[in-house]
Amino acid sequence: MKIVCVCACTSGIAHTYLAKAKLEKAATELGDEIHIETQGTIGTENALTPEQIAEADVALLAVDIATTGNERFKNIPTVKVGTSLVVKAPKKLLKKIEEEIKERKSKKE
């Protein structure tokens, strides 16, 4: 599964980056490809490219606040969760998303 993701927490100091690191680890273990943009106190880092978004199966918004640029994901399935869920159970979350994406695809066909 190819995932584009935005992480952002309330104060943009710690949870954003913890969530990013946890997701990257979980994705590697599950064989998923993930690109993560962070929107924190420091500003936006690792901004997603249009190519990454175009190729993605799903957009994951791991956010506790309103983030900018969500219109970029209007053409792909989007899942929104809080950062605490990501920190708590990243692998479980990615597995669940994968199941849902498969289900959506099979319904379309």
In this structure, the number of other CB atoms found within 10 A of the CB of residue 35 comes to 20
Q: Are 97 and 1 in contact (CB under 8 A)?
A: yes
Q: How far is the CB of 94 from another protein (least distance, A)?
A: 14
Closer to another protein by Cβ: residue 40 or 57: 40
- Write out the residues near another protein by the rule CB under 8 A: 10-11, 13-18, 20-22, 25, 40-42, 64, 82, 84, 87-88
Q: Is 9 a catalytic residue?
A: yes
List 3, 7, 9, 58, catalytic entry: 9
DSSP state of 75: T
The residues assigned a catalytic role are: 9
